[in-house]
Structure 1
């Protein structure tokens, strides 16, 4: 195989799919014999939803959201809403306070119907996606050793030995790949334990709806029937042991100050902490880390899943380009350069929430001030934009305001969107010049760049990388800028005469 991905969670599956679309031979090893059914992230952010959109998976994700709404609904202030906002440190963000006309939100609205996608359903959707692409997922295979020889990686597993061109660890916070590669994992130690479960409750009237704080921590009841979340400060519990009904009940009783009785578990519960760490490097030779293998933090807002999918989208096309031979190895260095700052921001975003969640008087006073700020139009809009991921930016050269951002909803004169034309992967070039000048130039990169012509409008031209990041944009006819950007990201043009680029 060209690439072996370790871990069949959302990150590993997205990475495998992107590599397959780039033409690489890829396989996935997963130590679990069956997909993980534990309760984890309950939603996805805009860049993740748009990644599904670019690969033709938006209708399936929208169907999942409709089913979620039919089953449990989403409620804010007693009113049913399909507007996803989220929370900051348990303080729910009122959708009626959000300025939905803000350009950062209004230009990324096409994926709104695919935000409430729980992690188990997302994994199932992605599993079908990689199966259609012919990617084998080998379950019950655990990595036990590895050796990077410089031109390949020898991988020892519980099912035997395999040689692969490249190895990518998407195997979680306790990553065997990271440990075997010897990559340090510095960060901050945990100070709380959290639980998430869906339970039968004998006396639910004893619990308050929404988030409630106490000196011992905090808990949430809802929004779906029987869902409880607890946070307790103190010595973290043993995360390796299975979570029991009694354990969840004991935690809920402590933080709620009630004698509430739980009678049954209705879904596989999860236990987590605020352990927060980032790998010292995301690459070591022919071995890469992505997702929780590269960074861990508290799961507030499902940021970990989204951060990992962003890693996968970024690395997938770049490694695929190197394997295909049209990009130099140096392109792979931009993976760490571009994704590390986003990971560091997410860690600080979650750390900040720990700071206002504690039960002491000082944290309570800070929480009250933050709550006042979040109860304003500007404050709520700011937080929702951050949680949604629409303000994420890669530091790229270029003066156009779109450069470095995830591509917005670019509607075309024929009623389609630019994203509709990217289901097969590769670069997307929007050409709105009267004479098709950008399209003629891009013929030199045939097979790597798909050109989409449209009626004249602004922006005149936009080049979107396979990961959805705008690499170049112009409101004029910037041939030189497009040519330089294509050379930077899409390699040298084809030497064949029929693909000779214009100067």
Structure 2
């Protein structure tokens, strides 16, 4: 039995899924020593490959990849995998003349109905639209980047328990002991870290069991392609044999019965009302709409992110995006805490910002379930929502929510851009502002090249980069202060006061250093 007590880590991450791997990249960006422990020996799984592994990335996730220099690689590998083409061809609402932009409980909204001018702080750029990826491709890109940056990834070693003190965490995994300053549970909905730490996990019980299957039908034309609501639930069918079903049984069949061909055939017949016969079952999985959230994302030196912190139905594909947003929010705050530069309360702002965001997504998921119940009143309500989604205001609202454009943290500041994602300003030389965040530091954009701002930022140099430049479209702004995660901490449309910028600098980047500490 090896003993790691002589070689402690700055942080241990439980879980090598996309959230854990992205967080590992974030922490390595700041030079922290990182160990990732993953219970599964093999990262590959048929559930991660197409078509089951199809995932939609929201605009905040695409922005995070762009800001860390990962987007081009993800796009290239996604194009090679055919995920984008399959997303276009496979979704039943894509078999229409109009181009769908997403859906709510299966009710589509369309690109030509969306009024993007209702989002005043968006600018065109490489990260201005959602995209489809295959989960295995996405994980592969993140794992390569994390390893290349120096993160240590151990597979086949899951967390069995841990002992946390005021100074460190000793993690027991695979018969070994690993010491770390911090532990972050990114180990999924059945998180061992969350359970071992006694985190309260509160929410609502499931109403249905969902099934996703790849099967061979004796008669492929026995089912009509598309989404269908029935007296017992709902099913979608994409030829030749990919079927998703929802049966409102209170989640009774999730993980409690073997997924045999006979069982899946019985469920399909009950839900569809058709005498459909399966000759072969290639792959099947179940899921539910259980929606729960940790009441606290931090207990001492242990934190939660991704599905370890919140679970909900996969309707609308919000889970992966919620987790990546957790990771980019947490990474720089944990790094500043370890580096001794964090202002008071910085790490606690992780829960303060991300918990409400998670709760909002859980309610969004619950609302979709409410529109899927097999009752006459629900179908009547769904018809009303369908009409609303068909309006410009309705489509714009649903796109704003589904695409993640509405994300805004409740930060102190008078300007309405405060707390939102930084617009991807384009400068005179063609450079995009998002590329300036790849080093993990904050950013002060000064569109007036104001000398007082240059002087004011000097005590925070090393933590915040000062860029005096002209933007092709500054949206009427004179100066913008951006956190390392791309969130606007302060913005001004008037000539900025050097004293005014000092407060948000201290709030997010710690106390100023003496000017003579800088070259």
Shared fold (TM-score, shorter chain, > 0.5): yes
- Displacement of 1:371 in angstroms is 1.3
2:480 is the counterpart of 1:462: yes
Q: Distance in 2 between matches of 1:403 and 1:347?
A: 24
- Superposed, 1:295-374 pairs within 5 Å as 295-328=310-343, 330-374=345-389
Which residues in structure 2 correspond to 1:194-209 (within 5 Å)? 194-209=210-225
Go from structure 1 to structure 2 and tell me whether the alpha carbon gap of 1:18 and 1:256 turns closer, same or farther (over 3 Å shift): same
Q: Cα gap change, 1:58/1:263 in structure 2, threshold over 3 Å: closer, same or farther? A: farther
Unaligned stretches of 5+ in structure 1? Answer: none
**SS where residue 63 of structure 1 aligns?**
helix
Q: Does 1:228 align with 2:236?
A: no
Which residue of the partner structure matches residue 491 of structure 1?
510
Gaps of 5+ in 2: 1-8
Residue matched to 1:50: 63
Q: Deviations over 1:213-238 (max 9, x none)?
A: 0011111123x864321111014213
Q: Give TM-score, length-normalised by structure 1.
A: 0.92
Q: CA deviation at 1:455?
A: 1.6
SS in structure 2 of the partner of residue 117 of structure 1: strand
Displacement of 1:156 after TM fit? 1.1
Q: How far apart, CA to CA, are the structure 2 residues paired with 1:105 and 1:251?
A: 47
Q: CA offset at residue 342 of structure 1?
A: 0.7
Deviation at 1:329?
Answer: 5.6
CA shift at 1:240, angstroms? 6.7
How far apart are 1:361 and its partner, in Å?
A: 1.4
Q: Are the structure 2 counterparts of residues 104 and 433 from structure 1 closer, same or farther at C-alpha, using a change threshold of 3 Å?
A: closer
Q: Which residue number in structure 2 is paired with residue 4 of structure 1?
A: 12
Whether 2:41 is the aligned partner of 1:33: answer: yes
CA contact (8 A) 1:374 1:380 kept: yes
Distance in structure 2 (CA, Å) of the matches to 1:462 and 1:199: 54
Distance 1:436 1:420, change over 3 A: farther
The alignment of Structure 1 onto Structure 2 pairs a total of residues equal to 497
Q: Distance in 1 between matches of 2:144 and 2:304?
A: 24
SS in 1 for 2:136: helix
Partner of 1:118: 134
Greater alpha carbon shift after TM alignment, 104-113 vs 200-209: 104-113
CA contact (8 A) 1:11 1:308 kept: yes
The more displaced of 192-201 and 355-364 is: 192-201
1:21 to 1:62, Cα distance in 2 relative to 1, 3 A? same
C-alpha distance after superposition, 1:394-443 (max 9, x if no partner):
00111112101111221212112100121121212212123454344323
Residue number among 411, 427, 443 corresponding to 1:396 in the alignment: 411
- Alignment match, 1:131: 147
2:21 is the alignment partner of 1:13: yes
Q: Give the alignment of 1:36-185 within 5 angstroms.
A: 37=45, 38=47, 39-40=52-53, 42-66=55-79, 67-71=82-86, 73-74=88-89, 76=93, 78-79=95-96, 85-103=101-119, 106-107=122-123, 110-112=126-128, 115-185=131-201
C-alpha contact (below 8 Å) 2:101/2:109 kept by paired residues = yes
2:254–2:288 Cα contact (<8 Å) kept: no
Contact 1:84 1:116 in 2 (8 A): no
State the superposition RMSD in angstroms: 2.3
Q: Deviations along 1:459-486, whole A, 9 cap, x unmatched?
A: 1111111222111111223222222111
Tell me, yes or no, if the aligned pair for 2:54 and 2:87 is still in contact at 8 Å.
Answer: no
- Give me the whole-angstrom Cα distance separating, in 2, the residues matched to 1:56 and 1:271: 35
**Residues 496 and 170 of structure 1: CA distance in aligned 2, closer, same or farther (over 3 Å):** same
Q: Which moved more, 1:461-470 or 1:111-120?
A: 111-120
Q: Could you tell me how far apart the structure 1 residues matched to 2:88 and 2:121 are?
A: 22
Partner of residue 281, structure 1: 296
How far is the alpha carbon of 1:496 from its aligned partner? 5.2
Contact 2:59 2:129 in 1 (8 A): no
- 420, 427, 443: which one pairs with 1:405? 420
Corresponding residue number in structure 2 for 1:186: 202
User: Matches of 1:269 and 1:321 in 2, distance apart?
Assistant: 44
What is the match of residue 471 of structure 1? Answer: 489
2:3 equivalent in structure 1: none
Q: Alpha-carbon deviation of 1:211?
A: 1.4
